[in-house]
A and B are shown apart, each in its own frame.
Chain A
Amino acid sequence: MPDQNPGNGVSLSMTPYTGPWTKVEAGHLLRRTMFGPTNQQMLDAVTNGMAATVTALLQIPAIAVPVAFHPDETIAAFGSSWVDSVYPTDPVAAQTVETARLMSLGGWAMDRINSEQLTIAEKMCLFWQNHFAANASLDSRATYDYHMLIRTHALGNFRQFVKDMTINPNMLLFLNGATNTLYSPNENYARELLELFTIGKGPQIGPGDYTNYKEEDVAAAAKIMTGFLVDGLRSDTVTDVTAVFTPILHDTSTKTLSSHFGGATVPDNGANEYADFIDIIFQQDEVANFICRKLYRYFVNYDLTANVESTVIAEMANTLIASNYEVLPVLQELLSSEHFYDISVRGALIKGPLDMLYSMLNGTESAPAFDLATDYEMQLNMYWLADTMGQAYASPPSVAGWPAYYQEPSFSKLWVNATHIKTRFDVSSWMSIYGGIPVNGNNWELDALTFLDNLSDPSVAATVIDDICDVFTPKDVDAVQKLILKAILTNSLPDFEWTLQYNDYLANLGNTAFSDPVKLRVQLVLARLFQMPEFHTI
């Protein structure tokens, strides 16, 4: 833990930030809310100002559905959506199709992250993916629906989100809601709903008493939510997986909650009873504190000091409650606040694997543009690489999410160890200088030339290095390091030689004899930068 005391000279103010608005501050905002901005996006953010940029970020754009690309997908036609398709009747064949659909989902999820759109959408989806940390079910249509539910509510009403998630088929399957019946109550979901999804577990202050709820609440909650089944799994006739309320499996008794909920009673209300219960949970303001802490740790800093708790978190929670649990106003306030731009929190997190991979790719405007199947395969390779480094999207290690987001005291340090850092180096070297990811005879490598061309002034070596550092590092890079990078760019020649080389390339566009040497120099600079600790912080 850093020995810094954020109380000293650190602004904890949630009033709108009014200080300098340069690439440094704009870059901080974009790095925290996206998977790697481009130089141009940073420049645009500077031009548009903080308020307009925050507003623009807080929108969730529409996206395309995942499509069939793998030969094992035998139901949906190649290139068309499978999300409303049936499965083959034969169970073995159905499993084969499911594997193809999972790969489609994986590639699709990565493709969304590999986007240059100015939006907080993907960072929010990952946040909720970590919060409602369910793994994929055995039917990819349900897994897809779960993701779309997250996306729909990403900036929306948290209370409604929890309600919808409670009867989401993927979640019903993952936490045994689908087998929670009058005859055999299953507490799995009930427990996580309280402990991880809404009010959170406080210190144990008595037998079965976790400050915010008691064991008896878990038992009551399980009964409240009895009666939901999941229909259509792997069906060869039904095109959708749905939650079905079955009255005879529902516990119709009146349930009584503990003193932490004012001893409230929940009478039978059939299929809507779970919503009544969630409304009761949300009457406790601790729900707002709980989710705001998580948002803070994800977007600002892992270190929740007493000062931060009493100022920043309290203010965020006030805003959330005042807005009837709408998430957007909270983020609007947070991302515009003096505290968010305080120098003490810049670079305060270590990049997770997905952030590391896609900041590298998005920052260089690199996306695969081959054929459909190849592009999916390439994104899948990224998926697996992130998995190798400890972050498989949609597959968190437990229902609590990834430890780097919650495990004290290390938090984001957990993303890296000596092996992972080596893997990060290998992957970044591969993508920058050793030819990229090979799939079907094509290679996906960083687009060093386009990246260079879009910098502020590509013909000036020092500016190129400044821009590159702005794009990929959270704080000023040491002057000596910049000189080393510049020497790599110019091949240790005088700066004007780089200018001549670049201008020669511009005058001979399309001629690889001129473009290749320029490209190589940039690739070498990038490879080096990706091995500097600065790149791995955010």
Chain B
Amino acid sequence: MKRRNFVKSLALASAGTPILLNEMKIQSIGKKLFDVAGFAEDRVLVIIRLNGGNDGINSVIPIDQYANMTIQRSNVMIPQASALGLTTEVGLHPKMGGMRNMYNDGKLGIIQNVGYPEQNRSHFRSMDIWSSGLIDNPPSTGWLGRQMDVDFPNYPDAYPNTQYPDPFAISMGYETSSTCQGLMANFSHAVNNPFDIYNLASSGVLDDGTYYGSHMDYLATLIDQANAFGAQINDAANAGSTLSTMYDAGNPLAVQLQYVAQMISGGLQSKVYVLNINGFDTHDSQVSAVDSTEGTHAELMKRLSDAIEAFQDDLMLLNLEHKVMGMTFSEFGRQIASNASLGTDHGDAAPLFLFGSCLDIDIMGSNPVIGNTVVNQAGIPMQYDFRDIYASILKDWFGVSSGEVQTLFEHSVTFYPLVTPCGVGINEEDLAKEGALIYPNPATSNATVRFTAGNEWVKIDIFDINSKHIAEVYDGTLSQGRHDIPMKLKGLPAGQYIVQIKKDSGIINEKLSKMK
């Protein structure tokens, strides 16, 4: 029957019947993923889906394989001179300057040849597999949704509540991500623009004592309740800020990542953000006929790389780098040999990117081996199982025990050290040195910012939430120790501001609320 599929695709918050219960064999009761004490508490995972099947060979270029690549895919191949070398053997697509920079800064990780056994080359089926992390069982739950079901068994009925006021995950766009599909509902809240959730201006009609009025009032109350997540997201977006100037407003992925930064910095407690970029199904015109470094795929790589670089830059400026890591995935790579239409067809394994400042890898795995003869329909064999990547992230980034992680998957999980114990073990005093205190806050006409300096140059500025420079507070050298710098706020419109303290030793951003 079609019911389940339809209801699932609708991602109804209240899919009425527990139709899938008997299909779920790998449930477990364990420690809460997002309830772990300490370091993992406020960590965020950003997932970017490369929809359509990304050509891994032209993304992460095996420089040592050029001789045979010429045999296999000369019409789409990136000229060796154009590849952006990371090592002598591995290069990036020439449009991926941003991610090359991140690699050089230790903020980009590449895992080679990620796939799964007996690769399915249907977009739909393979995306289901990647989203669910299930191969043998029906993909009725997402790999993240499954863990969230363990943690929050009464979702969505009992949520939001005071302990969990925010959605557990955000899907950027209009669709909820199937990675977050739980048994009864999708754990993600679809957000196209966090400043505009549902955008339900309240109706002019209030309860005027008529039957109609009483119902309007009743419905409006329900709508408010249904929109509780929307209001939280709205509030976070308004409270948050974004500081990077690298976002390109013409790059949809960059716009969405900027929204994500805005929400995270605004204090939204969502643990997962899923984004999507379409267009990777490059059967034809993957590259321009006159220049293989241009074309559809080049544009996609540029968008991806530029957007991630801007996002990482923003996280650094916002002092949030230690809280956020990212991952890309695509339903499959493409075949080794190109076709005659300047394109490539559905293949098997492909590289997967991780990004963030807490990575423990640079390049994991070896270049794919390109043979010297064209084998019809050959793809890149898998070296790493994507489920093990998921499992390792759950364990090291979210702190789920290996035993508990194992219960989420069908296969015997192998863990890889992908993430450092970033931010763990820093003592409170060190942390205090990296912070600042603004008092009073909210403030009316005057406020003071307190922080420590180490006999160094310090510049203090106030920005508005659109990163527009509002005022300079201080510019000079300060002695070792604690300092209290007064700020005059008279004349500033009421609203949220960022006080930025730039020191030789780093940048601190603190929020300031100005009242009338």
Contact = CB atoms under 8 A, between A and B. Distances in A.
Interface in B14-33: 14-17
Interface string B1-19: 1110011011111111100
Interface string A418-446: 11111101110010011001110000000
Nearest to A417: B222
Interface stretch (A186-194, A394-402, A473-481, A514-522): A473-481
Interface stretch (B76-84, B212-220, B310-318): B212-220
Interface in A325-378: 343-350, 377
B209 A532 contact: no
B14 A422 contact: yes
Residue picked from B210, B211, B220, most chain A C-beta under 10 Å: B211
B226 A425 contact: yes
A129 B291 CA distance: 69
A384 interface: yes
B2 to A, nearest CB: 6
Interface residues of B, number: 40
A380 B223 CA distance: 27
A388 B204 contact: no
Contact of A388 (B1, B14, B200, B223): B14
A413 interface: yes
Interface in B410-459: none
B209 A531 contact: no
B219 A536 contact: yes
B268 to A, nearest CB: 19
Contacts of A350: 215, 218-219
A532 B200 contact: yes
A388 B15 contact: yes
B205 A419 contact: no
Contact of B213 (A2, A418, A531): A2
Nearest to A416: B222
Residue picked from B9, B13, B15, B175, most chain A C-beta under 10 Å: B13
A439 B211 CA distance: 40
B13 A426 contact: yes
Contacts of B7: 384-385, 388
A388 B219 CA distance: 19
A347 B198 contact: no
A439 B2 contact: yes
A388 B201 CA distance: 27
Contacts of A388: 7, 12, 14-17
Interface in A2-35: 2-4
A405 to B, nearest CB: 16
A384 B3 contact: yes
Contacts of A103: 1
Residue picked from B11, B157, B174, B219, most chain A C-beta under 10 Å: B219
Given A348-B211, A419-B156, A475-B212, A427 B10 contact: yes
Nearest to B217: A533
B220 to A, nearest CB: 5
Interface in B173-220: 174-175, 198-201, 203-205, 209-216, 218-220
B214 A2 contact: yes
A419 B219 CA distance: 12
A270 B59 CA distance: 87
A481 B211 contact: no
A301 B14 contact: no
B223 A531 contact: yes
Contacts of B201: 480-481, 484
Contact of A421 (B3, B9, B226): B226
Given A388-B15, A423-B13, A480 B204 contact: yes
B467 interface: no
Contact of B218 (A384, A413, A480): A413
B225 interface: yes
B216 A537 contact: yes
A434 B175 contact: yes
Nearest to A528: B199
A381 interface: yes
Contact of B211 (A4, A381, A425, A426): A4
Residue picked from A303, A387, A423, most chain B C-beta under 10 Å: A423
Residue picked from B1, B14, B15, B218, most chain A C-beta under 10 Å: B14
A286 interface: no
Given A430-B10, A438-B6, A421 B219 contact: yes
A534 interface: yes
A533 B206 CA distance: 11
Nearest to A533: B219
A475 B212 CA distance: 9
Contacts of A348: 210-212, 215
Contacts of A416: 218-219, 222
Nearest to A345: B211
A533 B209 contact: no
Nearest to A390: B16
A422 B226 contact: yes
Contacts of B157: 419
Given A536-B219, A537-B215, A387 B226 contact: no
Contacts of B214: 1-2
A187 B212 CA distance: 42
B16 A537 contact: no
A531 B200 contact: yes
15 contacts: A103-B1, A347-B215, A347-B216, A349-B215, A350-B219, A377-B2, A416-B222, A423-B12, A425-B226, A439-B2, A481-B204, A531-B198, A531-B200, A533-B220, A537-B215
Task: Please give me the 10 A-B residue pairs with the lowest Cβ-Cβ distance, nearest first.
Answer: A478-B204, A347-B212, A348-B211, A533-B219, A418-B225, A388-B16, A419-B14, A422-B226, A2-B214, A421-B222
Given A381-B6, A427-B12, 18 more contacts: A1-B214, A2-B211, A344-B211, A347-B211, A347-B212, A348-B211, A348-B212, A350-B218, A381-B3, A385-B7, A388-B7, A388-B14, A422-B13, A426-B10, A430-B10, A479-B204, A531-B198, A534-B203
Interface of A: 1-4, 103, 301, 303, 343-350, 377, 380-381, 384-385, 387-388, 412-413, 416-423, 425-427, 430, 433-434, 437-439, 474-475, 477-481, 484, 528, 531-534, 536-537
